[in-house]
A = this chain, B = another copy of it.
Amino acid sequence: MNADGKTKTIDRGSYEPAYMQLVRIVSEQIATGILHPGDQLPAEGQFCTRYSVSPMTVRRAINILVERRLVSATQGKGTFVKPLDIGEAVFRLQELKDHWTHGSHTNVRLLEARIVFADECIASKLAISPGERTIYMRRLVLQEDLPTMYHREYLVYDPTLPLVEAQLQITSLEGLLQGQNSEGFRRGHLTIEAVNLKEEEAGVLKVPTGSAAFYLEHIFYDFHNHPVSWGGLMCRADHFKLTAYIGADADL
């Protein structure tokens, strides 16, 4: 199965667990072309004897390869190397969050916060009745005194909370971005799209009207599965780029 005589072995004295070493060995074989897409991996028993590990250890390693989508396992048939598939690419919002948190001089300016009565659109998004009260907030994120993100959000008004002030502290998206948050939320739905900035948005972000931007829309739900926050974040396109990697990386 291996192309050369010098086959790697598991180093039991290593800090790296045996199952991880096995994951790395197979990943390298895929990355270097020793194993090609479509090739069948050795059976579990062969791995056991080949590397002197127990079946559970082999299974754990293979499970990880399956999760990483480098191979696919089918009961009764075997485990096979998957071809490269662009659909596997995942873009993580962590990058955007890092922009927010690690930016040397990042601060958030609250532009506006007031009670608004829900129109049909807001009401349907928050699953309330038109005319019910919501808290509307507009925030601007500045990095090095440069506006980079513009956030608008509607929160359902909760009369059990003492003051508007209290709810302002919730600052849902801000809390979520900063990690310190926001007990009330247990689930969220996010979408991202490319948009042309309207005049007001462009003005706030100090770019020409019509400039391209990422629009990150969000709805957050509480424990009762009721929406409590609906809003969107406009991100200056010239400041944000999401990245992804696909395929075997030989490392990681």
Find chain B residues with CB under 8 A from A89 CB. 92-93, 188, 190
Q: Is A120 located at the chain interface by the 8 A CB criterion?
A: no
Segment of A106-114, A125-133, A240-248 in the binding face: A240-248
When chains A and B are docked, how far (Å) is the Cα of A93 from the Cα of B244?
A: 10
Segment of A5-13, A79-87, A135-143, A160-168 in the binding face: A79-87
User: How near does chain B come to A228, taking the closest CB pair, in angstroms?
Assistant: 12
When chains A and B are docked, how far (Å) is the Cα of A246 from the Cα of B216?
A: 14
Cβ contacts A194-223/B at 8 Å (1 or 0 each): 111000000000000011111000101101
**Cβ < 8 Å to B, chain A residues 159-202:** 173, 176-177, 179, 181-183, 185-196
What are some 6 contacts across the A-B interface (CB < 8 A)? A30-B186, A33-B223, A85-B176, A86-B190, A192-B242, A221-B247
Quick one: copies of this chain in the complex?
A: 2
Find chain B residues with CB under 8 A from A145 CB. none
Q: Is A31 located at the chain interface by the 8 A CB criterion?
A: yes
> Would you call A31 and B194 a contact (CB within 8 A)?
no
Assuming the contacts A33-B186, A212-B213, A223-B32, asked whether A191 and B243 have C-beta atoms less than 8 A apart, the reply is yes
Find chain B residues with CB under 8 A from A96 CB. 87
Q: Is the interface of A mostly helix, strand, loop or mixed?
A: mixed
User: How near does chain B come to A197, taking the closest CB pair, in angstroms?
Assistant: 9
Q: Is A90 located at the chain interface by the 8 A CB criterion?
A: yes
> Would you call B92 and A97 a contact (CB within 8 A)?
no
When chains A and B are docked, how far (Å) is the Cα of A182 from the Cα of B83?
A: 8
> Would you call A243 and B190 a contact (CB within 8 A)?
yes
Q: Is A37 located at the chain interface by the 8 A CB criterion?
A: yes
> Would you call A248 and B212 a contact (CB within 8 A)?
no
User: How near does chain B come to A16, taking the closest CB pair, in angstroms?
Assistant: 16
